[in-house]
Amino acid sequence: MTAPVLPLWLNTNRRLDRWVRFDEDGRATILTGRVEYGQGAITALAQIAAEELDLDLEQVRIIGGDTELTPDEGHTSGSRSMDEGGTALRTACAEARAVLLAEAARRLDLPVERLQVEQGRIGGADRTREISYWDLPHRELLAREATGLVQPKPANRYTVVGRSAPRRDIPGKVAGRPTFVADLVQPGMLHGRVVRPPSEGARLLSFDEAAIRALPGVVAVVRDGDFLGVVAEREEQAVRARRAAIAAAHWQEPGLPVDADGIHAFLEAAQTTDTVIVERRDEAARARGVTRLQAQYGKPYIAHASIGPSSALARWDANPDRVEIWTHSQGVYPLVREIAQILGLPTASVVAHHVDGPGCYGHNGADDAAFDAVLLARAVPGRPVMLQWMRDDEFAWEPLGPAMRVKTAASLDADGRIVDWQLDLWSNGHSQRSGMVKTDYPNATLLAAWHLAQPVARMPQGDPLMAGGGGMARNGEVLYDLPNQKVVAHRVEELPLRVSTLRALGAYANVFAAESFMDELAQAAGEDPVAFRLKHLSDPRARAVIERAADASGWVPNAPSDGIRGRGIGFARYKNGYGYMAVVAQVTLEPDFRVTRVVAAIDVGLAINPDGIINQTEGGIIQSLSWTLCEAVRFDRERILSRDWETYPILTFAGVPEVEVHLINRPEEPPLGGGENPTGPTAAAVGNALAHALGVRVRDLPLTRERIVAAMG
């Protein structure tokens, strides 16, 4: 008999007591490697645990991302918290319940199949004899490895999962309670700031260290090669010391190989490593082509633009060396391993606790700030150091979402059906996270490690494998039924600017390009954009989200534009294996270009927390609107110029349209992540709506007034 296959993260963290424990206050504590950063994952995971353990949701507390307590689940990323983290937790809790029920059956002298559980109380149908989880020797019983032999509940028995539950992370944030890393206060706490080089590759020529040490409140000045930092008793003293240190430091700057205006030409001209992502051939179908179209689209570098800059708290205790970190990292275990490697410490000597921080949905400066805090704390052993990046640090030095160029070409036959399709894309790799790039040390993803007197080489740029959804080529392959399709990823190894993962990775640009091109093909075929998509789709779930979004938006087939208002649609299945989503956007050009309404339909299989899925989708739509309408990193041949909110504008409340999300819940299907689904379809819907209103198309993002005027001209 073949042994059951455990879910990925349960297989690497097999002990049941690493996932669930029962506390003296009558509640259960659930331990997860996943973390909360605004996506509602912790609430949904608590629902999964409550369901499998037959507890009320209020009886479940949850701890996420703590290297002293929780299982190692890598990074919370890629919309994988439910299908990977949730599946592991569901399986562990189901088996924990079965183990406890077996012991309860022995003590109650009743068959297991006759036992019922309610709020953790176990008994027969008549309830004449009862025992609870807390009455059992649960610590000893759960000190065992999972077998995978216990089946979780079927969906038709769910009472907690599938029902909307209030987000656990919201009340503290709304009430302004101290919930973020930057709110932490510890006895004897000092404050730190770093002094970054002015640009990529700059080298420190001279620095008047004595002048900075003499400033009021300064406890330490840390110089290690090109890494500079200051530690002071009070925060305002650290800020003043940083300002003075910037003036006291003199750098040599090598310059950049390209500026923002030339980035797409630079990507196309650069040496590349080319990979054919998909190639399907049907020469007979290709020969039927009578109309050939081609187009190119562009995406700039985009910042995570977290409203609060990255921060961390660290304490270095000597004799023996032990480092403790409080961080908003999305991957505390990979972070700890890398910091230990760089500093030559045993991994067990470095501990990290996840604490809420500014949301970013990707790899921003959180990990870097944690390492900065450790380097400053090493200079003042025994005293905790609160390290806060400044706004210009965040914009100039966080890893950006890579720029991309996407070219499309396709042929239509006489019936207006696509018979040939090609998509080529140029970009850097989309990952440089701790633990994400498999290579031998010494290599580092952490910024400060590259600047030390004995620097650790920069980790080679990586790209997630297509088996996991891909990076730059994510959603490069379209889901439509096409007899010929070829997608080629041209990976540029040279890095003008530091880049890594940003929400949805390459899917944002690839879906924008592919879905914009679908509208261009529909126009060439003389067909309505919705009908044209449905004509090329057999997947019933794909068709369902398109039809739901179109119906809910009041879509009128082949509606003419009045030159002022327009509507457009965008569709994708995220990673071609995760959630389905269709978005209809309505725009106006009067008095200026703005989006007035967005209607979306989303299918992520089993919706564990329906309201959570809807508000995540709403948030993803708004973030995509901000990218699509406003955001682009500006830089010249010397350095990044986007250093504040004036030079890197984001969507404001005044620009947020009416947003309406329709959830297609499929309890019989596995749960799929929903957070990253909206990015590409929203951008495409807005671009298509603009083209419908104008009669001409803007193919480079963001869709600014200047680009609209240029297209009209």
Q: What is the pLDDT of residues 235-255, one digit of tens each?
A: 999 999 999 999 999 999 999
Q: What is the pLDDT of residue 2?
A: 66
Query: With the CA atoms of 469, 475, 479 and 485 taken in that order, what torsion angle do they form, in degrees rounded to the nearest 10?
Result: -110
> d(Cα 600, Cα 620) in Å, to the nearest integer?
11
The string of pLDDT tens digits covering residues 370-423 is: 999 999 999 999 999 999 999 999 999 999 999 999 999 999 999 999 999 999
Inter-axis angle of helices 705-712 and 679-694, nearest 10: 40
Rounded CA-CA distance 558/130 in Å is: 66
**Average pLDDT of the segment spanning 32-38:** 91
Q: For residue 529, how many other CB atoms are within 10 A of its CB?
A: 28
Section 69-80 average pLDDT: 89
Q: Which amino acid appears at position 295 of this protein?
A: A
Q: What is the DSSP letter of 427?
A: E
Question: Which positions ≥6 away from 351 have C-beta within 8 Å?
Answer: 67, 68, 322, 323, 324, 325, 336
Residue 604 in tokens: 């992520």
pLDDT on residue 440: 55
Looking at per-residue confidence, does 675 or 149 come out higher? 149
Mean pLDDT for 294-315 is: 97
**Exposure letters 293-325 (e unless 16+ CB within 10 A, then b):** bebbbbbbbbbbbbebbbbbbbbbeeeeeebbb
**pLDDT > 70: percent of the chain:** 99
The secondary structure of 263-329 as a DSSP string is HHHHHHHS-EEEEEEEEE--HHHHTT--EEEEEEEEE--B----SSPPEEEEEEETTTTEEEEEE--
* 8-173 and 270-302+401-430+471-712 have identical folds: yes
Which token pair is 367? 């990990």
Given a cut of 90, whether residue 103 has pLDDT beyond it is yes
Residue 439 has pLDDT above 60, yes or no: no
Closest CA to 300 of 587, 579, 496, 76: 496
Mean pLDDT of all residues belonging to the chain? 95
DSSP state at residue 672: -
Class of domain 182-253+310-388: alpha beta
- Non-local (6+) Cβ contacts of 214 within 8 A are none
Q: How confident is the model at residue 442 (pLDDT cuts 50, 70, 90)?
A: low
Give the three-class secondary structure for 39: coil
Alpha-carbon span 96 to 146, nearest angstrom: 8
Average pLDDT in the 320-341 region? 95
- Residue whose C-alpha is closest to residue 515's, from 628, 661, 658: 628
Q: For 270-302+401-430+471-712, which CATH class?
A: alpha beta
When mean pLDDT is compared across 19-33, 284-298, 462-476, the lowest value belongs to: 462-476
Contacts for 16 with CB less than 8 Å, ≥ 6 apart = 92, 95, 96, 99, 142, 143, 144, 145, 146
* Confidence (pTM): 0.95
Which of the four pLDDT bands, split at 50, 70 and 90, describes residue 443?
confident
Burial letters for 417-438: b for 16+ Cβ neighbours within 10 Å, e otherwise? bbbbbbbbbbbbbbbbbbbbbe
pLDDT at 437: 45
Q: How far apart are CA 366 and CA 326, in angstroms?
A: 11
Judged against a pLDDT cut of 90, whether residue 77 lies above it is answered with no
Dump pLDDT digits (tens) for 161-196: 999 999 998 898 889 898 899 999 999 999 999 999
Distance CA 713, CA 696 (A): 10
Every domain of the chain and the residues it spans: 8-173, 182-253+310-388, 270-302+401-430+471-712
* CA dihedral sign of residues 264, 268, 269, 274: positive
Q: Is the pLDDT of residue 1 over 60?
A: no
Q: State which amino acid sits at residue 527.
A: E
CATH topology of domain 8-173: Aldehyde Oxidoreductase; domain 4 (3.30.365)
Specify the pLDDT at position 360: 84
Query: 22 near 133, Cβ under 8 Å?
Result: yes
Amino acid at 224: D
Distance, in Å, from the CA atom of 207 to the CA atom of 250, rounded to the nearest integer, reads 6
pLDDT in tens, 467-506: 888 999 999 999 999 999 999 999 999 989 999 999 999 9
What pLDDT digit, counting tens, does each position of 193-235 carry?
999 999 999 999 999 999 999 999 999 999 999 999 999 999 9
Mean pLDDT of 652-668: 97
Residue 666 CB neighbour total at 10 angstroms: 18
Main-chain dihedrals φ then ψ at residue 392, nearest 5 degrees: -70, -30
d(CA 618, CA 599): 10
End-to-end CA distance of the chain: 71
